[in-house]
Structure 1
Amino acid sequence: MLHGLASLASLAAALQVASALPTLSPRTNPSEPPPVVDVGYARYQGALNETAGVYTWRGIRYASAARFQAPRTPDKDSSGSVLNATEYGAICWQASVGANTTEGLPQNRTVDNETQPESEDCLFLDVLAPAGSCEGADLPVAVYIHGGGYAAGDAAAGTEFEAFARHVGEGVVIIRIQYRLGPFGFLAGKAIKDNGVLNAGFLDQQFALQWVQRHVSKFGGNPEHVTIWGESAGAGSVLNHVIANGGNTVKALGLKKPLFKGALVSSVFVPLQVEGTSDWAEKLYDQLVSTTNCTGQDSSYACLESLDESTLAAAGYKDSASFPYGFWEYVPVIDGTFLTDRASVLLKKGKKNLNGEVFLGTQNTDEGFGFTDPTLLNSETTDKSALASQFDSVLAGLFPLLTTEQRKSVADQYPISEAPTSPSGTNNITFDRISTVIAESTFVCPTYWSAEAFGSSAHKGIFNYGPATHAFDTSYYIGRVWDGKKSVSSVQSFTGALGGFVKAFDPNKNPASSSVNPFWPTFDTGKQLMFDTEVDENTLSPADPEVVKTSSLTSYGTSQRAKCDFWRGSISKNAGL
């Protein structure tokens, strides 16, 4: 009973705080629909959400693209009519994370009883702006890039930012973009490079950022105050835009000004990065050719290019799901233009060789749990030789290019003697070792390296609410932020800090609360902000954020800094980092 009362009290307080948030001084009548926006090739009419106090434009087409080709400006709408931007666009075809299965294509995603159709024609974006916003408002802009391992995700139902915008005091324009996924966006190999483009999904994103520069002012946004933001693969995308074109996208694309100033990341995702025409890339290309029965054709590329889109999507899903649990098949590659080298190498060059001016990065405390094969929890062996063999076998599946000696060096970094065990002394050892390897190599260290590269222009935080597993933090800014399952102060603490960065490039200028967080030092001071609650894993517990020293963070007997130095060392090339 007391727990229920606490939930109601938290929700009531949340609603009270939400209603007290400042509102935008209207520049047009906020009770009327938004103005029609002309983007050159089409005109779009958005809608007014009176409950949230925002204008929304959904399903705006920002680009068109032929299969495996770079995006381009859409053809001009010859009808001259105003297009209704109240429905989400089709989502991009989804692939899968490795799950040791050869199942076929899943059903279309359903959220709140709304089915999202999948299509190759999916380069749409959504715009959210405060009611009353219009050209000349010069509001801060956030461009959100969804996660999903470059295989899944979308900018459709269930991914809205209305609650986030209201919580941070409105006054921001938020844009969510879609980009090609799986084999449509990240198939590599020599045939793709010779006949099309590598990293098509990244070129989609970059094209969308250029669209923002050209058109966001028409929605009330300031093109010179843009933050690109993403979680997981979305955060990895942000990182890749930071290092894109050798860190000088302005010069590479012949732009007049940068595409963005702020880089906001939640759990930077860096999977295996290889050269786009490497043996590994060719192996994955040949696998898709075989699965689609394009083997033996005069041109395997022409065959793939001409396949029905659902057939290609089904093959991509089947291939990607067949890999070991937690492995991602269709991921970015080094193409020599957009990506000139691996992330760990380019970040070492420092801020002067990066796109963007300021950085904020967070990681969750248990990033690896959801990507670790759960069958490992069934193991009951305590024999060290058997545990070592088990660890090596799983590691080889996750990092297929590591040598036997390199896998041994990873095992030495995560020794059995330092692994936590269950009360019976069994069945968590290999699971925890693998989970920690995945977390640190794939999420934690890339976030750390990014913050280090920006130095005095960076803030780094650690999300430790609830179980703090991968993506748990997204419920604090996507969808129903005020859902009665979180304490008011925890939302003010974490979401407010993110809002401060979006609005002022400074997480200390928290628009939700000026007192809930201690001062958050920049990363070069050797300090981070731990977002925690007074009662561990209780999201209804009040926020208890604290500044922690980076040097105090340890992992398997050594500092986390040492672990990140290891992953960026001689092993990094074969680890694909």
Structure 2
Amino acid sequence: MNGFILLLSLLPSSAFAAPSVTITNGTIIGYSSGGIDSFKGIPFAQPPVGNLRLRPPQSINQTFGTFQATGSPRACPQFFTQANTGVLPQDVLSTLLYSPLVQEITNAGEDCLTLNVQRPSNVNASSKLPVLFWIFGGGFEIGSTSSYDGGSIIRKSISVKEPVIYVSVNYRLGGFGFLAGNELADEHSTNLGLRDQRLALQWVAENIAAFGGDPDKVTIFGESAGSISVFDHTVINGGDNTYRGKPLFRGAIMSSGCQLPALDVRTQRAQKAFNTVVKQANCDLPTASQRLTCLREVDYTTYLNAANSVPGLFSYQSFVISYFPRPDPGDDFYSSSPETSLAAGNFAKIPIIIGDQEDEGSLFALFSPNLTTNDDLAEYLVYYFPQSPTAEQNVRELLATYPDQSLLGQPAGSPFRTGPLNNLYGQFKRLAAVRGDFTFNLLARRTYLHYISSSVNSWSYLSSYLYGTPILGTFHSSDLIFTFGMLGDADVNPITDAIQTFLVSFVNLDPNVLRGTREEWPMWNESEPTLLNFLAAGETKLVPDDFREESYQYLLGHQTEFRV
């Protein structure tokens, strides 16, 4: 024992000191565990409360001295379920979830604009490591950085001798971050969640060098709503991704989401959501200024319940969620629907990966069990495209590319390649196929056409590792389990090993650098479009990107009619 004490006394005091980093605003104290330094909950913007509620994020312009970045960061307000529905059981549940006590227990609140930085413990300010900037998903309604620890990815990067720094960002969600309508458009206060993410990227550009990162080597990475956000950052400001004369990021990875053609912030659908929130907050006042002032002055719980009184992600109407990025033609920040920006060449010309799960739509189709006939499904989908005078014709022509074989006992659709199995209700597999293709799988193929025409290095993948899972197949968000090592690090789980190998490799702008004995992943091209297919047990193979070609061609020719 005395010898052990003597050994400890000979070690430098820095061996036991908590990691610290000094930036412009002050000194940030983190903690070390398992060879990784973590700095959590670092504020990158002023709290968006009071008069800053429903306004663009504001940079922190004063020092905060010494900041202990060791706790659990507060999540932004969550939209779990619709409030004020008039249905007693659901309203009781929402009242409980959005009560001050539960909000405190779940650590959610408006003062939430923070980010996490994680790095290998041996890194210093001269290391200049590439940076992986993570944007979480959750339908623009739920999620936080606390659910996505980057430790497993960092450990993989260390093991392959290509260490990275991992940054994750909290951004405003639901009616706090994506409320639209004329009133907010008039004062340029739209798409606030995207603006939060952009400010966080600017924070990285200014500060990540102090943590040992290289601000010139940032890759943005997201899943679902986070992936759609990643794409949006490539078209924001007309595709100009620079800040102070330098690019904010040099590569992008989009997992389950890319372009999402959308109606603008002033359309009837957007205004209807705004009017609902105003009414539920008792802010239905004569002028726009009065309505916005009221929304900013009501207490947090009142506004939370009002913002969450519209249909949510996991509801019967989930095909088109209430809150997500909508173009604002009156503002240069995000002015055009994505497909318009792509067609005009107004996007950042950087290397990309876009990929999807094979059965993206199955999870969402769980919530529409009364769709039993072709007419049921057609009427359900027509509801979401009121801007087109030919909406019913368009929907029925699209559905014709997904044969209705349910009456023959052979329901086609998702989970794909399962014959008559897994049809939860009459139109389940068909709706799941349309939902997945419309929002995810076929949108990716449309997006690549513009990237390759601009000679941008592009790769695509499809995940099928959960083939055979009843009802769901390889469902939306299942990749998170493996990407973040939730079932064991890469040295334990072969699927995690495959995904993280390509991920870390692409941070250096080529997913093949570290592939080892795996086959080379070719870039996507129009003449021979090819996907890397992730399979069970960490295996991969190359497959043609030509599934459901008739549906793809129809959607390609009707992009503006199918804006949501």
Give the TM interval when normalised to the shorter protein: 0.7 to 0.9
- In structure 2, do the counterparts of structure 1 residues 492 and 281 end up closer, same or farther at CA, with 3 Å as the change threshold? same
Could you tell me which of 544, 548, 564 is aligned with 1:549? 544
Higher mean alpha-carbon deviation, 91-100 vs 191-200, is at 91-100
1:469 and 2:475 correspond? yes
1:360 to 350, 353, 357: 353
Which residue number corresponds to residue 460 of structure 1?
460
**How far off its partner does 1:132 sit?**
1.4
Report the equivalent of 1:449.
446
Counterpart in 2 of 1:439? 436
Deviation per CA, 1:479-510: give whole Å up to 9, x if none.
Answer: 535179x96432222221111112x1111122
CA contact (8 A) 2:485 2:496 kept: no
Q: Distance in 2 between matches of 1:234 and 1:548?
A: 26
Aligned to 2:75: 91
Give the counterpart of 1:340 among 318, 335, 341: 335
Find the partner of 2:23 among 20, 25, 39.
Answer: 39
Distance 2:484 2:363 in 1: 20
The question of 1:61 aligning with 2:53 is answered no
The yes-or-no answer on 1:493 pairing with 2:506 is no
Q: Does 1:329 align with 2:332?
A: no
Structure 2 counterpart of 1:304: 295
Q: CA deviation at 1:398?
A: 4.5
Contact 1:487/1:543 (8 A) holds in 2 = no
1:324 partner amino acid: Q
The reply to whether residue 283 of structure 1 matches residue 275 of structure 2 is no
Question: Counterparts of 1:139 and 1:483 in 2: how far apart (Å)?
Answer: 21
Letter paired with 1:94: Q
Q: How does 1:98-497 map to 2 (within 5 A)?
A: 103=91, 104=94, 107=97, 115-156=105-146, 158-169=147-158, 171-250=163-242, 255-268=244-257, 273-298=262-287, 299-321=290-312, 324-336=317-329, 337-350=332-345, 353-376=346-369, 387-402=373-388, 403-417=391-405, 419-420=411-412, 423=420, 428-455=425-452, 456-466=456-466, 467-478=473-484, 480-482=486-488, 488-497=493-502
Query: Which has the larger displacement, 120-129 or 414-423?
Result: 414-423
Question: Separation in 2 of the partners of 1:229 and 1:90?
Answer: 22
Alpha-carbon contact 2:257-2:444 (below 8 Å) kept: yes
Residue in structure 2 matched with residue 20 of structure 1 by the alignment: none
Residues 487 and 433 (structure 1), Cα distance of their counterparts in 2 relative to 1, 3 Å cut: farther
- Tell me the percent identity: 26
Q: 1:359 to 1:348 in 2, by over 3 A?
A: same
Shift in CA distance, 345/427, structure 1 to aligned 2, threshold 3 Å: same
- Counterpart-to-counterpart distance in 2, 1:58 and 1:401: 44
Q: How far 1:270 moved relative to its partner?
A: 5.2
Letter in 2 for 1:239: F
Quick one: distance in 2 between partners of 1:433 and 1:269?
Answer: 22
Displacement of 1:452 in angstroms is: 3.3
Taking structure 1 as reference, are residues 349 and 416 closer, same or farther at Cα in structure 2, changes over 3 Å only?
Answer: same
Q: Offset of 1:450 from its aligned partner?
A: 3.2
3-state DSSP class of the match of 1:480? coil
Structure 1 counterpart SS, 2:484:
coil
In structure 1, runs of 5+ residues without a counterpart are: 1-27, 382-386, 534-541
Q: Secondary structure at the residue paired with 1:191?
A: helix
**Shift of the alpha carbon at 1:318?**
2.5
Mapped partners of 2:126, 2:96: distance in 1: 45
Give me the CA root mean square deviation: 2.8
Describe the shift of the 1:209–1:230 C-alpha distance in structure 2 as closer, same or farther (beyond 3 A). same
Deviations for 1:233-260, whole angstroms, at most 9, x for unmatched residues?
A: 000000000111111233xx6x311110
Deviation at 1:38, TM superposition (A): 2.5
Query: C-alpha distance in 1, partners of 2:226/2:423?
Result: 36
Q: Which runs of 5+ in 2 are unaligned?
A: 1-11, 414-418, 467-472
CA contact (8 A) 1:267 1:364 kept: yes
Q: Is the 8 A contact 1:477 1:495 kept in 2?
A: yes
Q: Distance in 2 between matches of 1:274 and 1:229?
A: 25
Letter in 1 for 2:43: R
Indicate conservation of the 8 Å contact 1:34/1:132, yes or no: no
- Equivalent runs, 1:68-87 vs 2, <5 Å: 68-77=54-63, 80=65, 82-87=66-71
The one-letter amino acid of 1:499's match is V
TM-score, normalization: structure 2? 0.83
Amino acid at match of 2:142: A
How far does residue 39 in structure 1 lie from its aligned partner after superposition? 2.6
Q: CA deviation at 1:33?
A: 4.0
> Given the alignment of the two structures, is residue 518 of structure 1 paired with residue 519 of structure 2, yes or no?
yes
| SS at structure 2 position matched to 1:273 | coil
Task: Give the secondary-structure state (helix, strand or coil) at the position aligned to 1:372.
Answer: helix
Equivalent residue number for residue 513 of structure 2: 509
How far, CA to CA, are the matches of 1:488 and 1:331 in structure 2? 34
Aligned mates of 2:339, 2:59 — CA distance in 1: 33
Alpha-carbon displacement from aligned partner over 1:265-298 (angstroms, at most 9, x marks no partner): 1101555611111222211111111222222455
In 1, the alpha carbon distance for the partners of 2:254 and 2:115 equals 19
How far apart, CA to CA, are the structure 1 residues paired with 2:380 and 2:328? 29
Q: Structure 1 stretch 523-532 or stretch 472-481: which is displaced more?
A: 472-481
After superposition, the C-alpha distances for 1:291-330 in whole angstroms (9 at most, x for unaligned) are 2222245522221121112211112222233762443101
What code does the residue aligned with 2:496 have?
V
Q: 1:370 to 1:332 in 2, by over 3 A?
A: same
CA distance in 1 between counterparts of 2:422 and 2:81 reads 31
SS in 1 for 2:304: helix
Deviates further, 487-496 or 462-471: 487-496
Cα pair distance change 1:372/1:461, threshold 3 Å: same
1:473 and 1:295, CA in 2 relative to 1: closer, same or farther beyond 3 A?
same
User: Paired residue for 2:4?
Assistant: none
Tell me which amino acid in the other structure corresponds to 1:547.
L
1:423-442: CA deviations, max 9, x gaps?
A: 59986541111111110110
- Alpha-carbon separation, structure 1, partners of 2:108 and 2:95: 11
Equivalent AA in structure 2 for residue 458 of structure 1: S
Cα distance change, pair 35–493 in 1 and its aligned pair in 2 (3 A): closer
Native 8 Å contact 1:262 1:356 kept in 2: no
Higher relative contact order (CA 8 A, sep 6+): 1
The one-letter amino acid of 1:448's match is R
Q: Is the 8 Å Cα contact of residues 528 and 549 (structure 1) preserved in structure 2?
A: yes
